Amino acid sequence: MVRWLTGGSYNAKSISRSLLDADVIMTTVERPTLGQAEAGGIRFDLLHQPWLGRLLRRRYGRLLFQIPLLLLLLLVIYDGFTGPQLAPANSATVLAWVHYRGLVIVGFLVLGNAFCMGCPFTLPRTLAHKLSLHGGRWPRRLRNKWIAIGGLLLIFWLYEWLDIWASPLLTAWLALAYLVLAFALEAFFTESPFCKYVCPLGAFNFTYAAISPFQIQTRSAQVCRTCQGKECVRGSKDTPGCGTELYVPMIQSNMDCTFCLDCARACPYDNVALGLRSPIKESAALRWPRRWSLSLMVICLAFMGLMNAFGMVPPVYALLDWLDVGLRLHSEALRLGLIFILGDFLIPAGLAYGAAWIGMHWTRSRPPDGLKDLTAQYAPAFIPVGFGIWLAHYGFHFAIGGLSILPVMQSFFLDHGYSWFGAQPNWELSTVIPIEWIFPLQVTAILGGFLISLYALARRALRPNREPLLGLREMIPWAIVVTVLVLLSLAVFNLPMEMRGTRMFGV
Amino acid sequence: MKHRLLTVMLLLTLLSLPLAADASGPGTGGRRVRLDDYPSGPYLLRAVTSPTPPRQGDFNVEVRILDADTREVVTEALVMIRIDPVDHEGTPLEKEANHAYAPLPEEYAAHVPPDTTGLWLVSIKVESEFGVGEASFYQDIAAQNSIGGALSVGLPFAGLLLLVLFFFWLQRNSKQASLSK
Amino acid sequence: MSKSRLRTINGLIILLAVLLSTCACSRRSSAGDQAPDIDLVFNLQPDPAQVGSATLKIALTDSNGKPLEGANLSFRGDMTHAGMMPVLSDLDETDPGVYQADVEWTMAGAWILTIDGTLADGRILQRQIDLEVAP
């Protein structure tokens, strides 16, 4: 059976079942992928660097990253259940809410989706496959990002309502729930649906991997044109193909790419590169799929950055009190739910819809899919500003408390009778950089992201054979939304923090 | 055209770096203990200054007074705070510290804004029925942070305005190009 | 059932057993307070607590109400969020059985105070107190 696959504009389309089952997949790749030129024009390929490249391409190369993270995950679960129920003194909360969040954000700038590369939650997948529970395809109606958006809303709401950040026990339960859910979904479905459609961490990581300097690319498009086996997606004898069913010659972004490098390991022609690329091209130039769920996920994540920080400053408590007294909403869960549904989803979705509507009417344009087209056109420009806001928040916690893991681990070993790392933990170890540097760095991150977002909006508004002023009219509502988001973020980060967490369950 | 746009954006990004730390941001605390139960006559003085760093035109001193024998807080005293410039121009200033200005009701505080930057000598004098006590410390006063804060708020509007102006400039250029054709 | 599947299931069961048995181990930190009979009265000035300077006083008495002198105590104040800088201080005995420290609440919000130390008879005292610090 022969199937023809024409090069599309984006890799977000799943390879259809018939293509995967075909004996031969012939391709016409219409244009080179981002950052790649014909005849080995990759500027810098991480997979062909001395020792690191060999390590990454080895059959069990990914395990070398997954095993340390698995051990850390087990530590989080163990210490969360059995250790002191004091967040600053327990490795569960310190590793999850200080180190993971801070390092994953920095990882995007340096490499890309580094956490998904070493994700320990996918290890149950291998076990699930070995149990030979024949998985079906993920339902077609659920092949979008709505569940991921819902998962993000749920996580952020639970985080604030249950004060998960203050509870090692709840942090451990969350990690365990992730493991169980990943196992269950991987056991019953193919196509890594947990990663691609469900995991909130994955949704966050896929979105902000858009600004990473590396991307999976082909070393030579000609090799892919003549390749008959398509092992990068179908797998080889020893190596599975892409878990999220991305076809390497069609990859133009990091969306849905877990950086697992199975494609590189499976390719019999060593034609897959982890190549350097411009970090802003994906948000400024790439044509994204016209899907509401994808566009809104990107836009909502930027606002979630603002709301996550808002949850830790005094005005949120004033708002909660007003909802309690003024609207007689006595349940904290309901009050927080209302705040986060509004701030994380309804307001950003409404603003996006409004900006698209205004832009369409000001320019009297009629894109084929109407508002969905316009939203997809400008949504990627929210990635840099969203990244800046998350960097300011997560970077703050890492800067303030990054070194606290040292006394925490000292204490952990002392609890078990080992004084290898000192008999007296130094609890004064906390900040990574001088405190006076933090606020200026936060402002720089937010403003830097804002300016790159403006650049991205401008690039997307300028089209050949269209007057620049028409582009301005179409784009300006979006620029105003981004500006308001930035001003609110600067205001929130300028407020003093006030975290009113409570300890639950056994303290 | 795209390179010019990128250049403009990069320049604006560079301008966004605040020139000095704004200590009112979260996590900085804004206050610094300068005297910690310092023996001064019949008293133990604790002095806290804010903001951090203190700036020209903005400097507060809070004082807590303990009886050195009983370690009880002294709430009925006359507390004078004086600042004098050290080896540079500046106007000395002396003010009475009171409970109303202090964040804690048992303490005393005064707002003593220096009118120039540089090193200043801060002197605290306490008089009550228990006797007289004096203490002093040096304080470096930084320049007013007029640039970082303004940029942090003004830059978003400036960026938006520049973007609009850039598009108008592009429009004019494209019209001129089509006319010349 | 195939041998491979059987091996995998066996491996899972063994892993689970190891994990459960590990969790059952007692940790020193969970058996911290060796003096539950000691009464601790906590006093903070100003009260209610607010950001800034404060004086902490601890009064220790035994079950007969007699002040406990000679304890070597320290104080740690943690915010409820991981990674926030703690406030640390030793407690000085100012009166028989009364121990005092000056502290600085750096941030508003929920704090957890841990009083930790050794009594004159060698027993370890460890208590935690929840505190809300106003802005």
- Could you read off the pLDDT of A345-389 as tens digits, one per residue? 999 999 999 999 999 998 887 777 789 999 999 999 999 999 999
CA distance A450 to chain B (A): 8
Q: Is pLDDT of A184 > 50?
A: yes
Give pLDDT, residue B28: 37
Nearest to C108 among A166, A496, A501 (CB): A496
Of A333, A316, A224, whose CA–CA distance to A268 is shortest? A224
pTM of the model: 0.79
Predicted pLDDT of residue A32: 42
3-class DSSP string for A117-177: HCCHHHHHHHHHHHCCCCCECCCHHHCCCHHHHHHHHHHHHHHHHCCHHHCHHHHHHHHHH
User: Would you state the pLDDT for residue B148?
Assistant: 58
**Cβ(B82)–Cβ(B63) under 8 Å?**
no
Least confident of A184-193, A412-421, B73-82: A184-193
Q: What percent of chain C has pLDDT over 90?
A: 26
> Is the CATH number 2.60.40.10 carried by domain B32-141?
yes
Chain A residue numbers touching C27 (CB-CB < 8 A) = 82-83, 415-416
Confidence of residue A259 (pLDDT cuts 50, 70, 90): very high
Which chains border C (3 or more CB–CB pairs < 8 Å)? A, B
pLDDT at A15: 53
Higher pLDDT, A131 or C81: C81
Kindly list the domain boundaries of chain B, sorted by start residue.
Answer: 2-18+146-180, 32-141
Q: Is the pLDDT of residue A121 over 90?
A: no
**Is B63 an interface residue toward C (CB < 8 Å)?**
no
Of A439, A468, A497, the CB nearest to B21: A439
**C132 three-state secondary structure:** strand
Identify whether C122 is part of a domain. Answer: yes
pLDDT of residue C27: 62
Q: Return the pLDDT at C3.
A: 55
Written as one letter, the residue type at A292 is W
CB contact under 8 A, B159 and A448: no
- Chain A closest-CA separation from residue C32 CA (Å): 10
Q: What is the CATH number of the domain that holds C38?
A: 2.60.40.1940
Q: Which residues pair with B87 in a beta bridge?
A: none
Domain containing residue C90: 34-133
Mean pLDDT of chain A: 85
Q: Quick one: pLDDT at residue A419?
A: 86
Using the Cβ of A465 and the Cβ atoms of chain C, whether some distance falls under 8 Å is answered with no
Shortest CA distance from C46: residue in chain B? B104
Which residue's entry shows tokens 């400097």? B59
Please report which confidence band the pLDDT of residue A36 belongs to, taking 50, 70 and 90 as the band edges.
very low
Q: What is the pLDDT of residues B121-158, one digit of tens each?
A: 999 999 999 999 999 998 888 776 545 566 667 889 99
Cα(A79)–Cα(B43) distance, rounded to whole angstroms?
48
State yes or no: ipTM above 0.95: no
Between CA A442 and CA B26 the distance in angstroms is 10
Nearest CA in chain B to C83: B27
pLDDT tens sequence across A66-111 = 999 999 999 999 999 999 888 998 999 999 999 999 999 999 989 8
Chain B residue with CA closest to A477: the answer is B160
Distance from CA of B23 to the nearest CA of A (A): 7
The confidence band for C24, taking pLDDT boundaries of 50, 70 and 90, is very low
A89 touching C (Cβ < 8 Å): yes
Cross-chain residue pair A428–C86, CB shorter than 8 Å? yes
Check CB contact of B27 with chain C, cutoff 8 Å: yes
- A366 or C22, higher pLDDT: A366
Distance CA A493, CA B27 (A): 10
Assigned domain for C89 exists: yes
- Scanning A125-164 for CB atoms below 8 A from C yields 127, 130-132, 163
Q: Cis check for the bond before C135: say yes or no (omega within 30 of 0).
A: no
